[in-house]
Amino acid sequence: MSETLRLPSWTDIEQAVRRIDGYVHRTPVLSSRYFNRRTGANLFFKCENFQRVGAFKFRGACNAIAALPAETARRGVITHSSGNHGQAVALASRLHGYQAVVVMPDDSARVKVEAVREYGAEVVFCAPGTKSRDDAVQELIDRHDHVFVPPYNHPDIIAGQGTAASELLGEIPDLDVILAPVGGGGLISGTAIAARHLAPDIRVIGAEPRNADDAARSFHSGKLEPASPEQTVADGLRTTLGPLNLAVIRDHVDDILTVSEEAIIREMRTVWERMKIIIEPSCAVPLAALSEHDMGINGLRVGIILTGGNVDLDALPW
Amino acid sequence: MSETLRLPSWTDIEQAVRRIDGYVHRTPVLSSRYFNRRTGANLFFKCENFQRVGAFKFRGACNAIAALPAETARRGVITHSSGNHGQAVALASRLHGYQAVVVMPDDSARVKVEAVREYGAEVVFCAPGTKSRDDAVQELIDRHDHVFVPPYNHPDIIAGQGTAASELLGEIPDLDVILAPVGGGGLISGTAIAARHLAPDIRVIGAEPRNADDAARSFHSGKLEPASPEQTVADGLRTTLGPLNLAVIRDHVDDILTVSEEAIIREMRTVWERMKIIIEPSCAVPLAALSEHDMGINGLRVGIILTGGNVDLDALPW
């Protein structure tokens, strides 16, 4: 599972665009009179909540799996995830004709387990925690020679996630600022590479829950900082930053802002009420940053990646 | 408030399209891999939940208010509504520079009262019930010479609502079937006139809660039938059919199907989960009809008007 990874570049994103064509939805870009009035800016929302499996994660998984040599992938694809990446790998594998195994903690929500199975993957349970998860994956790789598709710390994943910003800037070329949430850093690093190439003067801003602020700390210290002990409602952002992701972020991201749990929940609800679209808590983090930080965006054109819409409707956070 | 009303025609819809241009959003048409697979048909969802004020009602109100002679409208516009029509009249009046009064029952949800006020209208409360409501409106008209904008029984309202189907058929011309919910009948009658003109062979189907089935009964008996005593979760469809609406429906609608409360709630939730968009209970009624009736749509192209997305997020029906 460990190898020395090269930094991805714009060329990788161009290649990803071609690889995922026909598999991935070209998602719509929405605007909102309400949020424009409230922020004084002109906001453009790239709606990856409408992406297949309900999240941008499908882009990276689809690109990484399409990039595998067929003889390797035929041995089976494996990943670990209790969330959107597992569904993304399951569906992308099925569409490419490969078997997939998703290692999930045995306390995963049943609806998430069912979703992974519905996309045709085998689910293998492990005890909760990073160590048991990694051990379970390694054991299956040792036994079956499966190929591992990591959730964020890989150039093909980063390049795949970068295709969302590339589509957004293709449609709205003159953005002044682009915002995305930060968890493991796959999305923000892909976004930064695409944005830097397509709009060199753009400001690239990451947004992170204050209760899971290892990326903000790592960005400022220049080295990978340990996970925060707090919990966050933004379940998609509980992972810690990857080393490759930090390297890209240090080169191309202008700032990482942190936000409160209250603002995440409030902005999630406001999007539901005002825009009539379903977003998950992680997805509201950039909007929380707009409400809690003076970003000097008055009169500017701001792109926001809405990352996903997978929510348990029986356990809403308000 | 009573006058002899002429039947609206396609010419009225053409005129409405021009009148509301620049005020009304051209809403997107979405598709859903999940619903296509489940129904065997090719479904096209016209998303009026993304319309201004969150519902198609803005089209009719905007057309009716734009059609008023300015000297009449300057005396003030009045309506009664505990729901989307009140917000629609409030916003359309403000955009046209007129004062609006909305009579609302004094047990209305506070969030709905606030929404009407936010759009700049004056709210006058009355006791709940049709009689007190009509009395309150009449008293204000007698005193201030306001002009009444009815919720559905008027050619300009019907023509305005018909612009949604006209946009849908402009974008997807070869529909075999078009579906819309039925409450007072403004939407289904406008939809039927537009569809009959633009696609003469199309099947126009209305869908109604079984617990509020006066339109289905009126459609079959040929005369206005009394309200059903039951309650329905589809709060936008609790009104009874208007006489003008029945006349149009008898001329142009092929059938009105009724559905269970369970199916309405289930399909509402399924749209949230699968399409990641917010729809209100009334809006799920045509999808409930697809699940409870064999409509022979396998392989056909079916348009569905998604009517609105105004939901109390603290009181979801599941």
Contact criterion met (CB < 8 Å) for A50 and B276: yes
pLDDT digits (tens, 9 = 90+) for A221-279: 999 999 998 999 999 999 999 999 999 999 999 999 999 999 999 999 999 999 999 99
Say if residue B130's pLDDT is above 80: yes
pLDDT digits (tens, 9 = 90+) for B155-177: 999 999 999 999 999 999 999 99
Mean pLDDT, residues B59-73 taken together: 97
* Residue of chain A with shortest Cα separation from B49: A276
DSSP label at residue B211 = G
Distances (CA, A) of A30 to A165, A259, A311: 14, 24, 20
What pLDDT score was predicted for residue A3? 61
Dmax (CA) for chain B in angstroms is: 58
What pLDDT score was predicted for residue B42? 98
Residue B3: band (very low, low, confident or very high) from pLDDT cuts 50, 70, 90: low
Token pair 């210290």 is found at A221
Mean pLDDT, residues B266-291 taken together: 98
Say if residue B1's pLDDT is above 70: no
Residue bearing the bigger pLDDT, B3 or A129: A129
pLDDT digits (tens, 9 = 90+) for B192-209: 999 999 999 999 999 999
Please report how the helices A214-221 and A243-252 are oriented relative to each other, as an axis angle in degrees rounded to 10: 60
Contact criterion met (CB < 8 Å) for B313 and A273: yes
pLDDT digits (tens, 9 = 90+) for B222-248: 999 999 989 999 999 999 999 999 999
What pLDDT score was predicted for residue A129? 86
SS3 category, B288: helix
Q: Are B14 and B274 in contact (CB under 8 A)?
A: no
CA A255 to chain CA mean position, Å: 18
Calpha distance A154→A162 (Å, rounded): 12
What pLDDT score was predicted for residue B110? 85
Give the Cα-Cα-Cα angle A98, A99, A104 (nearest 5 degrees).
135
| Tokens read off for A269 | 């609800």
B268: CB partners within 8 A, 6+ apart: B279, B280, B281, B283, B284, B317
Q: Are A138 and A279 in contact (CB under 8 A)?
A: no
DSSP label at residue B7 = P
Identify all chain A residues contacting B28, using CB atoms and an 8 Å cutoff.
28
B79: CB partners within 8 A, 6+ apart: B61, B85, B86, B89, B100, B101, B102, B103, B137, B148, B149, B150, B151
pLDDT, averaged across chain A: 96
Q: Are A286 and A264 in contact (CB under 8 A)?
A: no
Q: Is the pTM of this model over 0.90?
A: yes
The answer, for B95 touching chain A at a CB cutoff of 8 Å, is: no
Amino acid residing at B77? V
Identify all chain A residues contacting B317, using CB atoms and an 8 Å cutoff.
none
Identify all chain A residues contacting B49, using CB atoms and an 8 Å cutoff.
276
The answer, for A315 touching chain B at a CB cutoff of 8 Å, is: no
**Sequence-separated contacts (24+) of A14-19 with Cβ below 8 Å:** A15/A159, A16/A59, A16/A63, A16/A156, A16/A159, A16/A160, A16/A162, A16/A163, A17/A163, A17/A166, A19/A62, A19/A63, A19/A66, A19/A67
Mean pLDDT, residues A86-112 taken together: 94
The answer, for B309 touching chain A at a CB cutoff of 8 Å, is: yes
How many Cβ contacts (< 8 angstroms) between chains A and B? 38
Contact criterion met (CB < 8 Å) for A314 and B314: no
pLDDT digits (tens, 9 = 90+) for B8-25: 999 999 999 999 999 999
What pLDDT score was predicted for residue B74? 97
What pLDDT score was predicted for residue B254? 98
The answer, for B23 touching chain A at a CB cutoff of 8 Å, is: no
Q: Are A272 and A292 in contact (CB under 8 A)?
A: no
pLDDT, averaged across chain B: 96
Nearest CA-CA distance, residue B188 and chain A, Å: 23
